[in-house]
Amino acid sequence: MKKTLTLILVTLFSYSFVFSQNNSTKKADRLYDRLEFVKAAEEYLKLDDSDLNSEYVITKLANCFYNLFETREAEKWFKKIINKNLTKKQKEIMFDEGTERPFSSDLLRESRKGFYHCANCGNKLFASTSKFDSGTGWPSFTEALPGAFKTKIDYSFGMKRTEYHCAKCGAHHGHVFEDGPGENGMRFCNNGLCLIFKPTN
């Protein structure tokens, strides 16, 4: 099983959760914004337990350690925000870069209008209007919602592929290919277990 570096690669300086900054994190946040990650991490770690265990601070700490190339420490912090309701298989796919069996997802037959969300954090990822039958055995989409994902290059199995992860929690979702039917030519090949569908009517 691959190392859980998936989580770490989601970290970008411009990324932030929807949690509000408060007075207790202001000093650390200023250091973080100035890319002074060593000092920022030190300040975040001084916070009391109520702040230190917040999703906002956990994410900031993970980002600090990733940008300092301390990947093991970053992974440790990101694992703290894994949804406890995920099944063992979902965790394997989303945080160990596994893959579900083709044609095993009930979402392949989903045809209602609505949106597809990240199963770990609830982030809205795809509109149903972008879904199509690719014949590959995995739910496929021509485009993602703006800002839904971050990408990295995956060299596993002797191939060069573009892997994408939820921009909010870092969960692995699948790979994107340039053979889709839409105007942009993209095909987002997503593991169904990583998605939750919410109909709009």
pLDDT digits (tens, 9 = 90+) for 120-149: 989 999 999 999 999 999 999 999 999 899
- Residue 125 has a pLDDT of 98
Q: Does the structure show a pLDDT above 80 at 196? A: yes
Print the domain residue range for 23. 8-81
Q: Say if CB 163 and CB 154 are below 8 A apart.
A: yes
Q: Which of 118, 121, 189, 194 is catalytic?
A: 189
Same domain for 65 and 105, yes or no, is no
Same domain for 76 and 96, yes or no, is no
Cα–Cα distance, 41 to 92 (Å, whole number): 28
End-to-end CA gap in the chain: 40
pLDDT digits (tens, 9 = 90+) for 89-121: 999 999 888 899 999 999 999 999 999 999 998
Q: Does the structure show a pLDDT above 50 at 171? A: yes
Please indicate, yes or no, if residue 119 is contained in any of the structural domains.
yes
This prediction's pTM? 0.66
- Residue 146 has a pLDDT of 95
For the record, the structure tokens of 109 come out as 């037959």
Q: Does the structure show a pLDDT above 60 at 61? A: yes
Same domain for 108 and 133, yes or no, is yes
What CATH number does residue 145 fall under? 2.170.150.20
Q: Does the structure show a pLDDT above 60 at 21? A: no
Is-catalytic flag, 189? yes
Runs of H (alpha helix) within 12-144: 26-33, 37-45, 49-52, 55-67, 71-78, 88-96
What CATH number does residue 17 fall under? 1.25.40.10
Question: What are the percentages of helix, strand and coil residues in the chain, rounded to 5?
Answer: 35, 20, 45
Domain end among 81, 103, 127: 81
Same domain for 103 and 59, yes or no, is no
Cα–Cα distance, 72 to 70 (Å, whole number): 6
- Residue 22 has a pLDDT of 61
Structural domain tally of the chain?
Answer: 2
- Residue 6 has a pLDDT of 44
Q: Does the structure show a pLDDT above 80 at 50? A: no
- Least Cα distance to 103 among 25, 192, 37 occurs for 192
Please indicate, yes or no, if residue 3 is contained in any of the structural domains.
no
